[in-house]
C-alpha cells in the first residue's frame, strides 16, 4: 500500500516538475533576475573582502587572523555546495534556496556588526554556509524553470555575472575600504551590509514568482557521506590556503593534509557506493559527459586564477597602480567574458549544440596566455587590453558549458546533485589555482632575483619586496629596475606554466560528448533515462 502511495506521489511530482515550463520570456526574466542577484552576492563575497582585509584587521586589531576571514568563507561555501545540491533534489529546491539566502543575509549582517576578528571569522563562516546554496541551487533552479534547449540563452547571463564578480569584487572592496565612514559607519562594514537589501529583494522575488514542485516522499540523509566529504574538502582547501605561503609544499603540515584529504576522499567514495541516497551519486561518473564536465570545471577554475588573480597583481607591482585602478584596467577582460557568455548562450539555444564552444574557448585561452607570456616593462595598456579581451572571450565561451552538458545528460531527479558537483569542482580548482600559481610566481621571482642581482643573493627576495612598489622604499634606486625586471620575468614564467594546464583543458573539451538538447521540459521528464540507455551503458 505504501509503495503504491509513494509511486503515486512520484508520478504526481514528475508531472508537477514541468507545470511552469510554458512561462513567458518576461516571467522567466523576473525569476532569472532574482537568481542572478543571488549569485552575484555569493560570487562577489568570494573576492570583495581581499582588498579590504588590511583595513579590517587594523580596525579590529587582529592582523594575525587576517587570512582566516577569507578562508572561513571559502571553506564553508565549498563544503556546503554539494550538500545543498543533494538536499534540493530530496526536498525541493525553492525552500532550501530560501533558507540559504536567509543564512547568507544573517551572516552578512552579523559580519558587518563584528567587534573583533574572532566574531568576523565565525560570521564569515556562517555567510559562506549560505553562499554554498546560492551558487549551486541557482544553476539547478534554472534547470527547473527553463527547458534544456532554451537553457543556454539564460545560463549565458550567469557566466557573465560570475566573470564580472571575479573582477568587480576587489575593485568594490578597495573602494569601500578607502572610505573612513559612509553614512556614519566604517566603510569596510558596507562590504557586508550592502548584501542585505539586495538579498531581501531576491528573497521576495523568489517567494512570489518562483513556483516549483514540493517533494513529499521519505528520504534518508547520508550523514556519514556528508561528514567525510566535509573533512576531505576541508583538508584540501587548507592546503590551497597555506601551501607556499604559511608552509612550504614539502612540509609535514601540507603533506599530512594532502594525504589525509585524499584518504578521507577515498573513504567518501566507498561510502557513496553503498549509501542508499548518496550525497554525490557515484553512478553519475559512469557517464563520460558528467566525468569530463567535472574535470573541465576543475581545470577551468585553475586556469581562471592564473589570469584573473595575477593580471591585477602585475598592474599593481610593476606599474604601481592602486588596487582600484588595477581593477578598472581589467574592464577589457570583463567585456570579453560578458560578450562571449551572452552570445554563446544564445547561439547554443539557436543551434542546439554546445560542444564547439569550449573547444574555441580553450584555443582562445591558450592564445591569451601565450600573449601574456610576452609581458615586458614597456608593454602598452592598449596591448594589454587586447590580450585581456582574448582571454575574456575564451573564459566566457567555456564557463557555462559544463553545467549545461551535465543538466542535459543526468536524470532529472539527480540534476541538483550533478550541478552542485560541477560547481564544487570549480571552487576546488579555483582554490588550488591560486595556491599553485602563487607558489610558481614567488619561486620564479626568487630565481630571477638571484640571477639579476647575484651580489644581493639572500638579502633581496620575494618576501622582502612582497609589497611591490611600496616594498622598494629602502632599496637603492640603481637596482630597482632589475627588481621590476625580475617581476616581469616571473609573470612571464607564470603564464608559460599555465599554458599546459589550458592545453589539457582543451583536450578534455575535445573529449566532451554531445547529446541533443531537449526542446521541452516534458521531453526531459519522459527521457529521464536517456543517457542511462546510452552513454551510461
Residues 195-229: tens digit of each pLDDT: 888 889 888 888 887 777 655 555 667 778 888 88
Q: Which residues have C-beta within 8 Å of that of residue 428, sequence separation ≥ 6?
A: 78, 233, 236, 237, 240, 298, 301
Same domain flag for 202 and 243 = no
Same domain flag for 57 and 162 = yes
- From 342, 48, 37, 32, select the one nearest 169 (Cα to Cα): 48
Same domain flag for 147 and 259 = no
The answer to whether position 97 is within a domain reads: yes
pLDDT tens sequence across 339-395 = 888 888 888 878 878 889 999 999 999 999 999 988 888 888 899 999 999 999 998
Calculate what percentage of the chain has a pLDDT beyond 90. Answer: 14
The answer to whether position 406 is within a domain reads: no
The answer to whether position 327 is within a domain reads: no
CA gap 327, 333 in Å, rounded: 10
Cβ–Cβ < 8 Å for 414, 359: no
Mean residue pLDDT of the chain comes to: 78
- The total number of structural domains in the chain stands at 2
CA gap 168, 155 in Å, rounded: 20
Output the pTM of the full model.
0.78
- From 269, 288, 86, 59, select the one nearest 177 (Cα to Cα): 59
* pLDDT(64) > 90: no
Given pLDDT bands bounded at 50, 70 and 90, which one contains residue 140? Answer: confident
The answer to whether position 432 is within a domain reads: no
Q: What is the CATH number of the domain that holds 69?
A: 1.20.1250.20
* pLDDT(464) > 70: no
> What's the domain range around 268?
223-276
Q: What is the CA radius of gyration of the chain?
A: 23
Residue 478 has a CB neighbour count (10 Å cut-off) of: 7
Cβ–Cβ < 8 Å for 440, 497: yes
Given pLDDT bands bounded at 50, 70 and 90, which one contains residue 503? Answer: very high
The answer to whether position 203 is within a domain reads: yes
DSSP 95-161: HHHHHHHHHHHHHHHHHHH--SHHHHHHHHHHHHHHHHHHHHHHHHHHHHHS-HHHHHHHHHHHHHH
Same domain flag for 102 and 230 = no
The answer to whether position 80 is within a domain reads: yes
Same domain flag for 144 and 191 = yes
Cβ–Cβ < 8 Å for 323, 312: yes
Amino acid at each position: 500500500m505504501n509503495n503504491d502511495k509513494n509511486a503515486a506521489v512520484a508520478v504526481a511530482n514528475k508531472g508537477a516538475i514541468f507545470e511552469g515550463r510554458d512561462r513567458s520570456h518576461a516571467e522567466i526574466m523576473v525569476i532569472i533576475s532574482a537568481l542572478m542577484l543571488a549569485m552575484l552576492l555569493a560570487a562577489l563575497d568570494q573576492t570583495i573582502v581581499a582588498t579590504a582585509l588590511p583595513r579590517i584587521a587594523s580596525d579590529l586589531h587582529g592582523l594575525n587572523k587576517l587570512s582566516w576571514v577569507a578562508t572561513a568563507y571559502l571553506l564553508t561555501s565549498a563544503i556546503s555546495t554539494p550538500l545543498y545540491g543533494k538536499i534540493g533534489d530530496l526536498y525541493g529546491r525553492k525552500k532550501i534556496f530560501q533558507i540559504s539566502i536567509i543564512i547568507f543575509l544573517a551572516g552578512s549582517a552579523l559580519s558587518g556588526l563584528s567587534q573583533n576578528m574572532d566574531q568576523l571569522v565565525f560570521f564569515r563562516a556562517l555567510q559562506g554556509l549560505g553562499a554554498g546554496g546560492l551558487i549551486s541551487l541557482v544553476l539547478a533552479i534554472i534547470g527547473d524553470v527553463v527547458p534544456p534547449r532554451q537553457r543556454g540563452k539564460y545560463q549565458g547571463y550567469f557566466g557573465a555575472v560570475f566573470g564580472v564578480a571575479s573582477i568587480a569584487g576587489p575593485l568594490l572592496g578597495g573602494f569601500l575600504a578607502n572610505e573612513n565612514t559612509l553614512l556614519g559607519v566604517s566603510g569596510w562594514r558596507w562590504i557586508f551590509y550592502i548584501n542585505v537589501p539586495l538579498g531581501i529583494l531576491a528573497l521576495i522575488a523568489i517567494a512570489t514568482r518562483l513556483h516549483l514542485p514540493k517533494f513529499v516522499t521519505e528520504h534518508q540523509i547520508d550523514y556519514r557521506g556528508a561528514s567525510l566529504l566535509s573533512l576531505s574538502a576541508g583538508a584540501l582547501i587548507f592546503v590551497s590556503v597555506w601551501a607556499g605561503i604559511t608552509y612550504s609544499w614539502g612540509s609535514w603540515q601540507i603533506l599530512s593534509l594532502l594525504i589525509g584529504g585524499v584518504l578521507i576522499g577515498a573513504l567518501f567514495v566507498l561510502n557513496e557506493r553503498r549509501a542508499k541516497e548518496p550525497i554525490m551519486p557515484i553512478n553519475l561518473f559512469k557517464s563520460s559527459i558528467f566525468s569530463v564536465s567535472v574535470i573541465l570545471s576543475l581545470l577551468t577554475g585553475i586556469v581562471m586564477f592564473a589570469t584573473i588573480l595575477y593580471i591585477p597583481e602585475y598592474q599593481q607591482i610593476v606599474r604601481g597602480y592602486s588596487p582600484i585602478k588595477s581593477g578598472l584596467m581589467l574592464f577589457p577582460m570583463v567585456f570579453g567574458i560578458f560578450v562571449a557568455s551572452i552570445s554563446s548562450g544564445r547561439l547554443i539555444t539557436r543551434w542546439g549544440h554546445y560542444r564547439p564552444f569550449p573547444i574555441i574557448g580553450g584555443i582562445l585561452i591558450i592564445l591569451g596566455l601565450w600573449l601574456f607570456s610576452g609581458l615586458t616593462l614597456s608593454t602598452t595598456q592598449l596591448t594589454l587590453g587586447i590580450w585581456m579581451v582574448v582571454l575574456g572571450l575564451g573564459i566566457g565561451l567555456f564557463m557555462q558549458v559544463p553545467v549545461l552538458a551535465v543538466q542535459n545528460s543526468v536524470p532529472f531527479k539527480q540534476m541538483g546533485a550533478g550541478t552542485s558537483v560541477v560547481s564544487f569542482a570549480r571552487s576546488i580548482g579555483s582554490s588550488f589555482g591560486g595556491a599553485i600559481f602563487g607558489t610558481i610566481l614567488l619561486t620564479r621571482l626568487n630565481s630571477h632575483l638571484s640571477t639579476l642581482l647575484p651580489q644581493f643573493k639572500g638579502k633581496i627576495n620575494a618576501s622582502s619586496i612582497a609589497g611591490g612598489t611600496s616594498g622598494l622604499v629602502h632599496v637603492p634606486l640603481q637596482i630597482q629596475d632589475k627588481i621590476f625586471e625580475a617581476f616581469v620575468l616571473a609573470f612571464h614564467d607564470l603564464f608559460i606554466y599555465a599554458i599546459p594546464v589550458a592545453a589539457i583543458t582543451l583536450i578534455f573539451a575535445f573529449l566532451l560528448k554531445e547529446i541533443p538538447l531537449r526542446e521541452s521540459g516534458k521531453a526531459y521528464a519522459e527521457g529521464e533515462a536517456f543517457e542511462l540507455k546510452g552513454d551510461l551503458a
